[in-house]
Structures are given as C-alpha cells and as structure tokens.
C-alpha cells in the first residue's frame, strides 16, 4: 500500500471536514484486527475510503472488504483514493443506502464496522448480527456522540440519534450472545464480540 498517498487522503479529508475515523479509535481497532486477520470485513459508511483502506493492511490473504456509501460524490472520491493507494482488489463499494442494501446481502463477515447514520444503528446491528460469523466482532463508532448519549441532553435535532444510540447500547449489552465493551476513545467505540456457543 502507498502510505504517502494514504496520508494525503487523510489530510484532505480533515481539511474538508469529511468525518473519518479518529487516530485513537483506529489504533484500538488495529489491535483487534492484527490478531484476527479477518477474511471478510463489512463497513457501513465508506465516506472517502480512508478507514477501509487502513483496514486492508490487516486482511488475511485474499481477504475482502465490502463497504457501503450513499453519497455519490464520496463514492467517486473513495474509488479514486482506493486506486491511488493500490488496494482496489481488496475493497468493494456498494453504492446506495445501507438500509436498502444490507437486506440484500447474504455473506458471512468476521468483522463489521458501523460508521454511518446514527439513527439507524439498531437496524445496522440487526443486519450485522445476521451476517456475523460465530467468532465475529462488531465495532460501532460515535457511540457516545459527543457525550450526549450518557447525559440528559435532549435537543430536538439530535434526539432521534441519541435515542437510537442508547437503544444500540442496550441491545448489545443485553444480548446473551455478545460480550460488549464501550470505550471512550474518539467519539466512543462499542466493541461487541460474538461469544462462542
Ligand atoms: C463517519 S463517515 C464514514 C467514515 C469512514 N468510515 C472513515 O472512517 O473513513 C459516515 C458516512 O456514512 C454515510 N452514510 C450515512 N448514512 C448512510 C446510509 N444509511 N447508507 C449508506 N451510507 C450512509 C455518509 O454519507 C458518510 O459518508
């Protein structure tokens, strides 16, 4: 992979206020990915491809990442970025709304990374669980949403997102098949491991 190009992609995204994974969140995920060496990763929320490109380093040989993005301009830029870095064999982008695309997928994934519309996290969880391998891991970024999720913050614009993020946390915490930890890295990261049955 061309690391210099990757650094340029990151700088451009930050300059243009495109929300990409924070360094400390990525660092935590990398620790899991190094040992897991996933064959298949599903990402919900590609943006310009930054996190997906970073994840390719940890894939097993012949491993693949499927990633979903609904913003056409971002899809275009992500495709260019993926090519520039030289990982186009390893990333497939589904173009469209994950709410419509996820139910059409029927793969098995080692790792799912949820990083899209916060109001849809419970739905993304349900679909991710359906496709998760029996030793799989689900990461959900922005789970603490600037601290709103753990406070009594109730501002109208964010209310639906906060309610759905809380529902996500409740579901992963109460699901007997999952072991979950919530970390205060970046904007909050939920890590849910499937328990061996
Ligand atoms: C936080 S960004 C993703 C950042 C990327 N994972 C990274 O770290 O480089 C979230 C992206 O999800 C996309 N998105 C939000 N809701 C979506 C949905 N329902 N379906 C598909 N994409 C969605 C947005 O357009 C945005 O580009």
Tokens of 100: 């419509």
Measured by CA distance, the residue closest to atom 14 of ligand 1 is 116
Q: Over the chain, what HEC string results?
A: CCHHHHHHHHHHHHHCCCCCCCHHHHHHHHHHHHHHCCCEEEEECCCCCHHHHHHHCCCCCCCEEEEEECCHHHHHHHHHHHHHHCCCCCEEEEECCHHHHHHHCCCCEEEEEECCCHHHHHHHHHHHHHHEEEEEEEEEECCCHHHHHHCCCCCHHHHHHHHHHHHHHHHHHHCCCEEEEEECCCCCEEEEEECCC
Tokens of 123: 């739905």
Give the pLDDT band (50/70/90) at residue 1: confident
Instruction: List the domains of the chain with CATH numbers.
Output: 3-194 (3.40.50.150)
Tens of pLDDT, residues 63-118:
999 999 999 999 999 999 999 999 999 999 999 999 999 999 999 999 999 999 98
Express as a percent the part of the chain with pLDDT over 70: 96
Q: What is the pLDDT of residue 195?
A: 87
Q: How far is CA 152 from the centre of its chain?
A: 26
Task: Pick the atom of ligand 1 nearest to 19's CA.
Answer: 1
What is the C-alpha to C-alpha distance for residues 109 and 81, in angstroms, rounded to an integer? 24
- Whole-model pTM: value is 0.95
In the structure, which protein residues have their CB atom closer than 6 angstroms to any atom of ligand 1? 19-21, 45, 47, 50-51, 68-71, 74, 97-99, 115-117, 120
Q: What is the pLDDT of residue 153?
A: 66
For residues 168 and 161, the model is more confident at 168
């Amino acid at each position: 992979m061309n690391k210099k190009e990757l650094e340029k992609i990151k700088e451009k995204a930050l300059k243009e206020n495109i929300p990409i994974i924070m360094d400390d969140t990525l660092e935590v995920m990398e620790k899991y990915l190094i040992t897991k060496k996933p064959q298949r990763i599903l990402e919900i929320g590609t943006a310009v491809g930054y996190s997906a490109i970073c994840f390719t380093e940890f894939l097993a040989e012949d491993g693949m990442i499927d990633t979903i993005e609904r913003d056409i301009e971002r899809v275009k830029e992500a495709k260019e970025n993926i090519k520039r870095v030289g990982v186009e064999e390893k990333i497939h982008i589904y173009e469209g709304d994950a709410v419509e695309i996820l139910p059409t997928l029927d793969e098995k994934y080692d790792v799912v990374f949820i990083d899209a519309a916060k109001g849809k996290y419970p739905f993304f969880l349900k679909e991710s669980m359906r496709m998760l391998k029996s030793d799989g891991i689900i990461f959900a970024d922005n789970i603490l949403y600037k601290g709103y999720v753990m406070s009594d913050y109730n501002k109208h614009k964010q209310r639906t997102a906060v309610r759905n993020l809380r529902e996500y946390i409740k579901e992963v915490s109460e699901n007997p098949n999952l072991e979950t930890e919530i970390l205060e890295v970046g904007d909050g990261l939920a890590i849910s491991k499937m328990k061996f049955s």
